[in-house]
Structure 1
């Protein structure tokens, strides 16, 4: 019987709420901060796109974390580092060198987050077993998304209200917001030092230097062997299909994910909708995330009922609708918040459907082709697919305008559908297996 101290409810919600909070800080708060401080869209997307680098390099560092210390140690340490990094961002915002300072601390934040979420997933799977894990399978992603509502919705609204209170002092308002998030992580660090269970023997990690050096060499050889065998054992056409799907499916989303937020807050004469921080927090940070949750729940239910192979192509069409709605919004530039909210809700619901389809397919492919190293390799390809288009998207928007960029992103949906058609023969039409792949999917 699980004691009260060991129950996952003591630590799973707070761990994954923290993960989602840091993700939203990088994805949304940093972007809005730079927009209000006067950077161009090209500069904003370039700088924030570079923050994907730790995830791109994850295959090179993640296999070695367990040789240094336990997942529990990494989680607690990275939460402290997340708090320090967020505090550093807050401290440097009002300074003369705010760009260099905030970007350096955001880089530290991204690295700490990548390590934290990697080891949090390892810790969750090592600690929560059997029927308990089945009952809590949706909890990690649920609390990630609740954190997005808290950050993108509530905190962005608070930032807007602070700007009114302090007579449009943008630097002060954002500095206070980042200090508050830093404080949350310091509290989280203090909580998890005592609330996290201790399933590992810390002493086994206190090895002599030579032993650890030998283990690093052995682990590196294992990683190389797994990757080389992955490329050697499977036909080139099959590998091309896998990498084409992994890279291309989300291209319509990655090309506009940052620009769409900038479009919502940009002024009308620049082609945007001119939403205030409070309106953005309601529209994108609350209504949009609720739509994302609804789409993910619906997508999981459909895949579990119909089977992935049967439904993958119809569900993949959902990736097209968000950009179609952004085209409509950029053409009409409505002033009605109700119309904007409706479009964002429908678009994000369809995005949730598409993301669940993507992640379920990716996990199914990884199980069919190899082991966990293969999955890490594919997520690294995904990071590249997110990093490059998002870095270029701001420059493309300045060159083409919002409307034309959304049109190009919509046209890129052809690549998404082509990738699904190519990968479909590799998928097994088993609803139970698909339901298993659906568990603990991160769509944030």
Structure 2
């Protein structure tokens, strides 16, 4: 039994799983969701927001490339705690960066540090979870893992955006967000201190009996085996096309809600956007994800895939409707956001299960799942990065119509890729363990 497993034996996982995965989610959502909305309120153009936040997302896409080397540090707890304190320091620096004359460049620099610290934290965090718990316990606490990862979304989108909206009216946009990042830094530092105490294992590293050269050889073998899988290039294309429309609409959609009405947007305040996405939006996403999983398990991935791809188009259609109708009452807008997020959650299950069942199986199943997830994130980042330039060139209505068309290639390619049928889908409940990954 490993040192971490031994330490965990006398410590209930309930004492550390909630705080561990709450931190994981909080760091991710601050970089990938909150930063874009903040920049929008600061007057940054959509193409700049999409381009830079897209590049920030590369951290989570390429993390499989350095994840094997973290095995050289035998104390996963040491990495987790170090990255949490690094994140707290980074959030504090964000508060300072927003007060500088070159605030945008400084903010992007700090966000890059936060992104790579968070991605490294993810690797060690999941590794600690697997090392500290046996298979039965991993399954038993998977629900807690996903619940607290998504609970951080309620905090960031619901609580923080609402608070930011209040502070903006009193102190101005830049001062308000500096206050927000100071509060986040304090919260993360407190959670890091608690996790240093509560996480299983020790902060001391041991002498590793594996070498960096050996890890590099294994990594080359894993990647080579992945690229030699039958039909892998068609599968990679399918993964990229599956997320091509999603990456664009999930980037521009929230910005459209904030955009002034005379520029084609809905003109909502920061507080209103936070209230909608932090409550009905997040709840609809969770319900959609759960129902999408049960639906696919019942029907099999192969038969469910057409419906799942069509459900991924629901957000695009919803935003096109909003850009045409431009409703003003919050009940109408909230209902539309709920429909959007339900469709997103329901359909996204298809890609997680496709990677698990069609791409990952083989000699290096876990590593190939990580590589498949990395390809999925790269597809998302590519579409996210170009979305701002397309929207600026086309306007909101034409842009959302364009995203609907972007979903068609994946629907066509579905008939040419190998998708597991009913026999494989019976094992699909394990996909519930990937709840945090699905949100990313």
Query: After TM superposition, is the score higher than 0.5?
Result: yes
| Structure 1 residue 370: Cα displacement | 4.3
* Aligned 8 A contact 2:78 2:202 in 1: no
| Structure 1 residue 4: Cα displacement | 9.2
Residue aligning to 2:216 = 220
Residue aligning to 2:396 = 402
User: Which of 63, 86, 101 matches 2:106?
Assistant: 101
Deviates more, 1:405-414 or 1:128-137: 128-137
Deviates more, 1:60-69 or 1:245-254: 60-69
Asked if 1:391 is matched to 2:375, the reply is no
User: Which of 127, 138, 147 matches 2:132?
Assistant: 127
Question: Can you list the C-alpha shifts for 1:169-224, whole angstroms capped at 9, x where unaligned?
Answer: 1111000011111111100110011100118983234x7xxxx6xx1111111111
User: Which of 299, 304, 319 matches 1:306?
Assistant: 299
* Aligned 8 A contact 2:264 2:323 in 1: yes
Residue aligning to 1:264 = 257
Unaligned runs of 5+ in 2: 1-5
Give, in whole Å, the separation in 2 of the partners of 1:109 and 1:22: 8
| Structure 1 residue 339: Cα displacement | 0.7
Asked if 1:429 is matched to 2:429, the reply is no
Question: Can you list the C-alpha shifts for 1:342-362, whole angstroms capped at 9, x where unaligned?
Answer: 011011001001111211211
Residue aligning to 1:322 = 315
Deviates more, 1:105-114 or 1:219-228: 219-228
Asked if 1:278 is matched to 2:271, the reply is yes
Residue aligning to 1:80 = 85
Give, in whole Å, the separation in 1 of the partners of 2:379 and 2:8: 44
Asked if 1:361 is matched to 2:354, the reply is yes
Give, in whole Å, the separation in 2 of the partners of 1:77 and 1:133: 24
Residue aligning to 2:199 = 196
Asked if 1:187 is matched to 2:190, the reply is yes
Residue aligning to 1:231 = 227
* Aligned 8 A contact 1:138 1:440 in 2: no
| Structure 1 residue 117: Cα displacement | 1.0
Asked if 1:375 is matched to 2:369, the reply is yes
Asked if 1:15 is matched to 2:20, the reply is yes
Residue aligning to 2:156 = 151
Q: 1:427 to 1:231 in 2, by over 3 A?
A: farther
Give, in whole Å, the separation in 2 of the partners of 1:388 and 1:18: 26
Q: 1:71 to 1:247 in 2, by over 3 A?
A: same
* Aligned 8 A contact 2:74 2:206 in 1: no
User: Which of 25, 34, 57 matches 2:62?
Assistant: 57
Secondary structure of 1:376's aligned partner: helix
Question: Can you list the C-alpha shifts for 1:307-366, whole angstroms capped at 9, x where unaligned?
Answer: 322322222210011110100000010001111110110110010011112112111123
| Structure 1 residue 428: Cα displacement | 5.3
Secondary structure of 2:313's aligned partner: helix
Question: Can you list the C-alpha shifts for 1:44-82, whole angstroms capped at 9, x where unaligned?
Answer: 111111102222332321110111352211111000011
Deviates more, 1:267-276 or 1:94-103: 94-103
| Structure 1 residue 149: Cα displacement | 1.1
Give, in whole Å, the separation in 1 of the partners of 2:10 and 2:90: 30
Secondary structure of 1:203's aligned partner: coil
Q: 1:5 to 1:79 in 2, by over 3 A?
A: farther
- Give the TM-score normalised by structure 2: 0.93
Unaligned runs of 5+ in 1: none
* Aligned 8 A contact 1:90 1:176 in 2: yes
| Structure 1 residue 426: Cα displacement | 4.2
Residue aligning to 1:336 = 329
Alpha-carbon RMSD across the aligned residues, in angstroms, is 2.0
Deviates more, 1:420-429 or 1:325-334: 420-429
User: Which of 234, 252, 255 matches 1:241?
Assistant: 234
